[in-house]
């Protein structure tokens, strides 16, 4: 009799799709002239159109269309020459018209893809590229915001956000792990920021992500029952929420339970997902064509004009960096996450043509300083020529790599050039043979016991002696020369 397979033996695989809402960076709203500026006094940026007064007519903001087409092209989508707006009906206090103008049957962009670079896997992979399908991208208006704050037992509605333009970008369920989902989200954010169509700020709500997740036994073709997650407002929370949700589903399945199709919210404090609404309460939006807006006919000329304005995109730049500078794909991915960072890298390489050295310094020292301070590369007080200046000092032996890290920190803090700091603090590397010999002799004289052990064959003590000399020189001795001289002297004693 074959062994009975239990639920414990099954290997599960995640199936993830992401729905992203990106706020387009227009000065005015999608169907009226109100400002989209963030942070204004409640309801100060409203008019009869975005307040949903009877008898008003929406007019499409041309910039919204241009930005949406530009994004669609960057995501390799087919741009529909004919598309249409639809009314999505639901009742909620922050939705003054009782419906949201969106696109349903005929979206603007369809059938695209985004390529993402994944970090090296366990199987010794050196980083790989995965293509994730984009099902559709369409324009719609945002809703307002309910405010439940203050001591009074009342809620308020702020309609400044009502009518702000959004692009909803829906991926195919091609994503197979949380890491892939995060990589996709970062790559998508990079594209939007490169195109200058969205500021990519998740905390301010200009980029929102709603993942849908399910599990299936490895090898099974059909998808499992999926759960949608809402209310997540940072990259870190998206990752945590997805990890939690997959663990929850796996436990349920292993215990012989069943995943229920529902929408769940991420609870930031408890770090769990909780039910928002079940399938029984699922909305039937009763979409129908928006009668107040004419269907969109997009001439091929306009699409071609917009295509000409596309900058070099992150995936093309990443591919070029890896090829042209001979750096690993993963380095290229990190360096091209923002246009400014990529530009900084290239400016440094132009002045100091050793791309891998520069990449290492940017990915460790520079990004650490930026992250610690919550800054962007635009805030970096070290211009590329000074960065190159520091690396040249290491190359010509003026300072050691270790001292250079301390000098770098000082440069970041003060904005001063490396040479000036090195001179002022007397950090010039000691390479003079006589000076190094004095240091080496001092150390050997101070440690007769270790010398004896070395003579007996404990040669791993070499590291100890090097460390002592470096310490005595306050890190300034040229480590290569110290090593060489110590080996020579200790070797002679051995004979
Ligand atoms: Zn308005």
pLDDT per residue over 213-222, tens digit each? 999 999 899 9
Distance between Cα 142 and ligand 1 center (Å) = 12
What pLDDT, on a 0 to 100 scale, did the predictor assign at position 146?
85
- 159 Cα to the center of ligand 1, angstroms: 9
The pLDDT of residue 32: 97
Q: Quickly count: other Cβ atoms within 10 Å of residue 256's Cβ.
A: 8
CA of 31 to the centre of ligand 1 (A): 7
| Cα(49) to centroid(ligand 1), Å | 5
CA of 43 to the centre of ligand 1 (A): 10
CA 230 to ligand 1 center in whole angstroms: 27
C-alpha 44 to ligand 1 mean position (Å): 10
Q: How far is the CA of 367 from the centre of ligand 1 (A)?
A: 41
Residue with the larger pLDDT of the pair 342 and 458: 342
State the distance from the centre of ligand 1 to the C-alpha of 47, rounded, in angstroms: 4
Residues 6+ apart with CB under 8 A from 453: 461
Question: Mean pLDDT across the stretch 464-470?
Answer: 89
> How confident is the model at residue 282, as a pLDDT?
57
User: Is the pLDDT at 139 greater than 90, yes or no?
Assistant: yes
Spatial separation of the C-alpha atoms in residues 339 and 331, rounded to whole Å = 15
Domain ranges (residues) in the chain: 7-302, 338-424, 433-494
Q: How many angstroms separate the alpha carbon of residue 26 from the centre of ligand 1?
A: 13
Span from the CA of 40 to the centroid of ligand 1 (angstroms):
14
Name the pTM for this structure. 0.78
Domain at 433-494: CATH architecture: Orthogonal Bundle (1.10)
Whether the predicted pLDDT of 96 surpasses 50: yes
Distance from the CA of 164 to the center of ligand 1, in angstroms? 9
Q: What is the Å distance from ligand 1's center to 144 Cα? A: 12
CA of 158 to the centre of ligand 1 (A): 13
pLDDT of residue 119: 67
Who contacts 200 (Cβ-Cβ below 8 Å, separation ≥6)? 22, 189, 192, 193, 206, 207
Rounded to the nearest whole angstrom, what is the distance from the C-alpha of residue 337 to the centroid of ligand 1? 35
| d(CA 55, ligand 1 centre) in Å | 14
Neighbours of 84 (CB within 10 A): 17
C-beta separation of 132 from 177 below 8 A = no
| Per-residue pLDDT at 494 | 63
Distance 291 CA to ligand 1 centre (A): 19
């Amino acid at each position: 009799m074959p062994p009975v397979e239990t639920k414990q033996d099954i290997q599960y695989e995640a199936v993830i799709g992401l729905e992203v809402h990106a706020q387009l960076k227009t000065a005015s709203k999608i169907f009226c002239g109100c400002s989209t500026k963030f942070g204004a006094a409640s309801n100060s940026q409203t008019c009869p159109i975005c307040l949903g007064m009877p008898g008003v007519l929406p007019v499409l903001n041309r910039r919204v269309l241009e930005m949406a087409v530009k994004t669609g092209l960057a995501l390799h989508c087919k741009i529909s020459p004919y598309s249409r707006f639809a009314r999505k009906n639901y009742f909620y206090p922050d939705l003054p018209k009782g419906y949201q103008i969106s696109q349903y049957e005929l979206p603007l962009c369809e059938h695209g893809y985004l390529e993402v670079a994944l970090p090296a896997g366990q199987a010794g992979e050196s980083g790989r590229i995965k293509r994730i399908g984009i099902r559709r991208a369409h324009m719609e208006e945002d809703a307002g915001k309910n405010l439940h704050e203050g001591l009074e037992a009342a809620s308020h509605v702020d309609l400044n956000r009502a009518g702000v333009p959004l692009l909803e970008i829906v991926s195919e369920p091609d994503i197979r792990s949380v890491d892939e989902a995060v990589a996709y989200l970062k790559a998508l954010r990079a594209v939007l920021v490169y195109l200058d169509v969205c500021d990519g700020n998740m905390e301010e709500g200009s980029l929102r992500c709603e993942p849908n997740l399910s599990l299936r036994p490895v090898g099974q073709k059909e998808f499992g029952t999926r759960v949608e997650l809402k209310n997540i407002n940072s990259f870190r929370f998206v990752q945590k929420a997805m990890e939690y949700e997959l663990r929850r589903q796996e436990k349920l399945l292993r215990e012989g339970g069943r995943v229920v199709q529902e929408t769940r919210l991420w609870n930031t404090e408890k770090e769990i997902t909780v039910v928002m609404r079940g399938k029984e309460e699922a909305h039937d939006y009763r979409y129908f064509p928006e009668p107040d807006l004419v269907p969109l006919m997009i001439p091929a000329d306009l699409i071609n004009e917009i295509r000409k304005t596309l900058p070099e995109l992150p995936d093309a730049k990443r591919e070029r960096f890896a090829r042209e500078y001979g750096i690993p794909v993963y380095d290229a991915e990190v360096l091209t996450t923002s246009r400014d960072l990529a530009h900084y890298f290239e400016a440094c390489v132009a002045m100091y043509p050793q791309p891998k050295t520069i990449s290492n310094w940017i990915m460790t020292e520079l990004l650490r300083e930026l992250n610690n301070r919550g800054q962007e590369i635009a805030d970096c007080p070290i211009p590329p020529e000074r960065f190159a200046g520091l690396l040249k000092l290491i190359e010509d032996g003026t300072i050691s790599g270790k001292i250079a890290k301390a000098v770098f920190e000082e440069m970041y803090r003060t904005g001063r050039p490396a040479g000036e700091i090195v001179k002022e603090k007397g950090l010039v590397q000691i390479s003079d043979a006589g000076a190094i010999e004095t240091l080496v002799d001092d150390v050997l004289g101070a440690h007769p016991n270790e010398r004896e052990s070395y003579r007996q064959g404990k040669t791993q003590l070499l590291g100890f002696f090097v460390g002592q000399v470096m310490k005595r020189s306050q890190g300034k001795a040229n480590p290569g020369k110290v090593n060489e001289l110590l080996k020579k002297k200790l070797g002679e004693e051995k004979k």
